């Protein structure tokens, strides 16, 4: 007797589960989640448990990739430092010193606008990196990029080129601290902030004395 095909069960189709992330993909995911949480809550306010929960993994996975919260934080900071330094370095293309000032100011303001989470992290003092990964070290690294430019201009105009590192720190610090303030208020618009920063810096530099003097009573 022939069997009734209609009563035969169709072969089961294999269930398609979620694709397992590769190690590289998981690491990138944890970095993105860590970056967001560190920006919002700071290092102390963020836990490994929360990072793991957001990623949908267990805590050992976080430890496997970064050795703990400190390791993840250090990598996030290092990435943001590199990103900002690359933006500043690639922006310095002009030949005229005033335009170089404009480009440096815009580079920092662009970073703040486009990578706000990263800047929030950088302006906090890092508990895991005393000499690097802090706002002060960030200013120093950027200033190093521009002190050679200043040194060349100082020499050409009869100023002591040995003072270029100090002036580079002063100029970059002025832009960075103004950028930190602008991060919260977002007024005036970015181009106006850059214009006013360059106005102060450029006209201050153009009116410099070769041998600056103090006008008050204190001399030491």
Task: List the domain boundaries for the chain.
Answer: 76-207
Instruction: Give which of 129, 138, 150, 147 is closest to 85, Cα–Cα.
Output: 138
CA dist 163 and 159 (Å) reads 8
Contact indicator for 55, 37 with CB cutoff of 8 Å: no
Residue holding tokens 């208020």?
185
Per the structure block, which two tokens stand in for 165? 């590192």
CA dist 34 and 40 (Å) reads 10
Render each residue's pLDDT in the chain as its tens digit; 220 residues. Answer: 555 554 555 555 555 556 788 989 999 999 999 999 999 999 999 999 999 999 999 999 999 999 999 999 999 998 998 898 889 888 888 778 889 889 989 998 999 999 999 988 988 755 554 445 567 777 787 888 778 888 888 888 888 999 999 998 888 889 888 988 998 888 999 999 999 999 999 998 888 888 888 988 888 8
Query: CATH for 76-207?
Result: 1.10.357.10
Q: How many CA atoms lie within 13 A of 139 on its CB side?
A: 22
Length of the chain: 220
């Amino acid at each position: 007797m022939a069997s009734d095909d209609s009563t035969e069960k169709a072969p089961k189709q294999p269930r398609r589960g979620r694709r397992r992330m590769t190690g590289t993909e998981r690491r990138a995911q944890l970095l993105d989640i860590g970056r967001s949480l560190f920006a919002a809550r700071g290092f102390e306010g963020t836990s490994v448990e929360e990072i793991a929960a957001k990623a949908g993994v267990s805590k050992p996975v976080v430890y496997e990739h970064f050795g703990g919260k400190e390791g993840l934080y250090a990598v996030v900071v290092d990435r943001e430092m590199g990103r900002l330094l690359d933006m500043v370095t690639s922006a310095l293309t002009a030949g005229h010193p005033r335009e170089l000032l404009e480009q440096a100011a815009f580079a920092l303001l662009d970073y703040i606008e486009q990578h706000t989470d990263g800047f929030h992290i950088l302006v906090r003092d890092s508990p895991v990196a005393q000499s690097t990964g802090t706002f002060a070290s960030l200013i120093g690294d950027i200033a190093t990029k521009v002190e050679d430019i200043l040194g060349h201009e100082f020499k050409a105009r009869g100023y002591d080129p040995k003072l270029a590192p100090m002036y580079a720190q002063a100029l970059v610090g002025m832009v960075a601290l103004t950028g930190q303030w602008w991060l919260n208020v977002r007024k005036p618009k970015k181009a106006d902030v850059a214009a006013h920063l360059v106005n102060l810096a450029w006209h201050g530099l153009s009116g410099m004395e070769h041998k600056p003097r103090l006008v008050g009573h204190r001399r030491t």
